[in-house]
C-alpha cells in the first residue's frame, strides 16, 4: 500500500524557534546534534541562482529555506517524491515569518534530464539539490538550504503537542475516515473515527488524515490550505509550551529531520525570531487564484498544472521580498 505525503516540514523549523525561546542556548545547542545534516553545493550556478538579481541587502534581509515533505515506500530503495513543497522565509526587513506552498503538479522546466516535468519529480530525479535548483530557476529564487521530513512520525508529533483543533466539514469527514482506516492498518492500531462535522479536536492520526484530503472542495489547492491549517495549530500549541515540554518535543522531532542548515544557522535564525518576538506566520500559495494564473493540462495522458509564469513570479516576489527585489 503506497503511503501518501501529509507531512508538514515547516513544523520542524518552527519547533526550533519556539523551543529555543522556551529553553536555553546550551539546551538547544546540544539537542541539535541529533539532526541528520547533509552537505550540498553552495555554488550559485549549481543551485540555479541568478546572482545578478540578488544583492547583499536582499541576501541579508531575506532568509529562504526549501521545505520538503517526501513520500517514499522504502527509504533504502526508493528516493520518493516531494509531494509537500514550501518556501519558509525569515523576513528580517519587516520582521515576519512567511510560508509559501508550491503546488506539486506545477509544470516546470529543466527537471534533471527532462526539459519539463512536474515539480514533485525533481526530488525523485536528483534529491534536495536538484529540487533547490529547479525551484530557484523556475521561480527566480535564491534558496540555498533545505529541510526534509519523511511521511512517518508526523502523527506522533501532533500527539506530542496534545492534538489540534480543526473545523472539519461534513464532506471531509467521510474521506478523512477512509484515510484513518488506511493509516490504522499501516500502524496496526484501532482506528478512531470522526462521527460528525464541525469543530473537532484531532489526534495525530486524524490530523494526518485531514491533511491528506485532496478530493473534497478545490482539489490539491485546498489540500495545501489544510496542511497550513494544521501547521498553524501545531505552531500555536508549541508556542505555549514550557521548557520541559519543548525539550521533549525536540527529542521527538530532530532524529527524523534532514537538513543542509548548519547548527549555527539554526541558532542564529531562531535567536533572531525570539529577540524580535515574531509569533505569526504569513501564508501564500503558487499559483495564485487570480484569473489566468493556472491552467489544467494533459500531456501524453498525464495531468499537469500549467501556470502564468510572469504574473505568478511577480506576485511571489512581492509576497516574499515586498518590493526590495528589483
Q: Which stretch of 62-71, 149-158, 221-230, 284-293 has the lowest confidence by average pLDDT?
A: 149-158
pLDDT at residue 217 in the model: 73
- DSSP SS3 for 281: strand
pLDDT at residue 222 in the model: 79
Contact assessment for residue 119 and residue 134, using Cβ atoms and an 8 Å cutoff: yes
pLDDT, tens only, 132-173: 999 999 999 999 999 887 765 677 778 878 899 999 999 999
71 DSSP β-pair partners: 81
Q: Which stretch of 6-10, 87-91, 235-239, 258-262 has the lowest confidence by average pLDDT?
A: 6-10
How far is the C-alpha of 223 from the C-alpha of 216, rounded, in Å?
Answer: 9
Tell me which of 179 and 1 has the higher pLDDT: 179
pLDDT at residue 246 in the model: 66
241 — pLDDT class (breaks 50, 70, 90):
low
Q: Is 102 exposed, middle or buried (0-12, 13-18, 19+ CB in 10 A)?
A: buried
Q: What is the mean pLDDT of the chain?
A: 83
Which of 246, 292, 205, 297 lies closest to 14 in space, CA to CA? 246
Task: Centre a 10 Å sphere on the Cβ of residue 41 and count the other Cβ atoms it contains.
Answer: 13
Map out the domains of the chain with their CATH numbers.
10-153+221-321 (3.40.630.190), 160-219 (no CATH)
Q: Which stretch of 92-106, 188-202, 268-282 has the lowest confidence by average pLDDT?
A: 268-282
Amino acid at each position: 500500500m503506497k503511503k501518501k505525503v501529509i507531512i508538514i516540514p515547516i513544523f520542524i523549523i518552527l519547533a526550533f524557534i519556539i523551543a529555543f525561546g522556551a529553553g536555553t542556548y546550551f539546551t538547544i545547542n546540544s539537542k541539535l546534534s541529533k539532526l541528520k545534516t547533509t552537505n550540498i553545493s553552495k555554488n550559485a550556478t549549481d543551485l540555479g541562482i541568478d546572482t545578478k538579481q540578488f544583492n547583499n541587502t536582499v541576501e541579508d534581509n531575506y532568509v529562504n529555506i526549501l521545505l520538503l515533505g517526501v513520500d517514499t515506500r522504502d527509504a533504502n530503495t526508493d528516493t520518493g517524491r516531494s509531494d509537500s513543497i514550501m518556501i519558509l522565509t525569515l523576513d528580517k526587513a519587516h520582521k515576519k515569518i512567511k510560508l509559501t506552498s508550491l503546488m506539486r503538479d506545477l509544470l516546470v522546466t529543466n527537471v534533471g534530464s527532462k526539459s519539463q516535468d512536474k515539480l514533485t519529480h525533481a526530488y525523485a530525479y536528483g534529491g534536495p539539490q536538484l529540487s533547490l535548483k529547479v525551484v530557484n530557476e523556475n521561480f527566480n529564487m535564491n534558496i540555498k538550504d533545505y529541510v526534509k521530513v519523511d511521511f512517518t512520525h508526523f502523527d506522533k508529533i501532533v500527539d506530542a503537542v496534545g492534538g489540534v483543533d480543526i473545523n472539519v466539514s461534513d464532506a471531509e469527514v467521510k474521506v478523512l475516515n477512509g484515510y484513518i482506516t488506511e493509516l490504522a492498518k499501516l500502524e496496526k492500531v484501532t482506528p478512531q473515527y470522526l462521527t460528525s462535522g464541525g469543530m473537532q479536536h484531532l489526534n495525530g492520526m486524524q490530523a494526518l488524515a485531514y491533511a491528506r484530503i485532496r478530493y473534497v472542495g478545490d482539489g490539491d489547492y485546498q489540500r495545501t490550505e489544510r496542511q497550513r491549517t494544521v501547521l498553524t495549530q501545531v505552531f500555536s500549541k508549541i508556542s505555549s509550551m514550557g521548557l520541559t515540554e519543548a525539550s521533549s518535543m525536540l527529542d521527538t522531532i530532530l532524529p527524523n529531520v534532514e537538513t543542509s542548515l548548519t547548527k549555527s544557522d539554526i541558532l542564529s535564525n531562531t535567536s533572531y525570531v525570539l529577540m524580535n518576538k515574531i509569533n505569526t506566520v504569513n501564508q501564500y500559495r503558487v499559483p495564485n487564484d487570480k484569473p489566468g494564473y493556472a491552467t489544467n493540462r494533459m500531456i501524453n495522458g498525464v495531468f499537469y498544472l500549467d501556470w502564468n509564469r510572469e504574473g505568478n513570479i511577480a506576485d511571489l516576489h512581492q509576497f516574499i521580498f515586498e518590493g526590495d527585489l528589483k
